[in-house]
Amino acid sequence: MILVTVGTQLGFDRLIEGMDQIALTLKEPIIAQIGDGSFIPQNMEYHRNIAAPEFEELVGRARLIVAHAGIGSVLTARRMNRPIVLIPRCASLGEHRNDHQIATAKQLNSLDEIYIVQSTLELQSVIEKIPTSIATRLQASSDARKLRQAIKGFINFGHI
């Protein structure tokens, strides 16, 4: 199952429409959380909002998350060890007040199991490249290891 989420604040029609268009060719169940969006999916199950415990349960069942480039979605995917495809909201398309998601996505680009796309046209090929088995447990990222090392250094030597 693929879980699609636009986060809790704003709708994101470009993402939902893009996923709805490829829903039939993907040949696996898709559940979308569409928020306040005005586009109504025709080809996939959708909910406006999903309560946190239920959302957590869906993430557990999903093999993959497709989301806006919101840090909350990224944290959920990391915590639950799920790969995530991110499409940043674009201010010029009225999807957010500024382009911070594009900046965030750029920063996340190098991390394992995080896939960034800029256009919905890329969604299908990226999703199909991600293995269909539920991900093996992610290794602690090298960034997390470095942060832990820095903390240990601070505790032992008083500086970083």
- Give the interface with other proteins as residue ranges (CB under 8 A): 71-72, 74-75, 78, 100, 103-104, 107-108, 111, 140-152, 154-155, 158-160
Q: Whole-number minimum distance, CB 73 to other proteins, in Å? A: 11
Residues 6+ apart with CB under 8 A from 150: 160
Q: Are 116 and 108 in contact (CB under 8 A)?
A: yes
Q: Whole-number minimum distance, CB 8 to other proteins, in Å? A: 13
Cα distance between residue 110 and residue 153, in whole Å: 25
Q: Are 116 and 102 in contact (CB under 8 A)?
A: no
Q: Are 135 and 83 in contact (CB under 8 A)?
A: yes
Q: Which of 62, 106, 99 is nearest to 84 (CA)?
A: 62
Please identify, using beta-carbon distances, which residue of 5 and 13 lies nearer to other proteins. Answer: 5
Q: Are 85 and 67 in contact (CB under 8 A)?
A: yes
CA distances from 93 to 12, 88, 96 (A): 10, 11, 8
Q: Whole-number minimum distance, CB 60 to other proteins, in Å? A: 15
Six token digits for residue 17: 């429409």
Q: Whole-number minimum distance, CB 5 to other proteins, in Å? A: 16
Please identify, using beta-carbon distances, which residue of 24 and 103 lies nearer to other proteins. Answer: 103
Please identify, using beta-carbon distances, which residue of 18 and 73 lies nearer to other proteins. Answer: 73
Please identify, using beta-carbon distances, which residue of 33 and 73 lies nearer to other proteins. Answer: 73
Please identify, using beta-carbon distances, which residue of 48 and 79 lies nearer to other proteins. Answer: 79
Q: Whole-number minimum distance, CB 152 to other proteins, in Å? A: 5
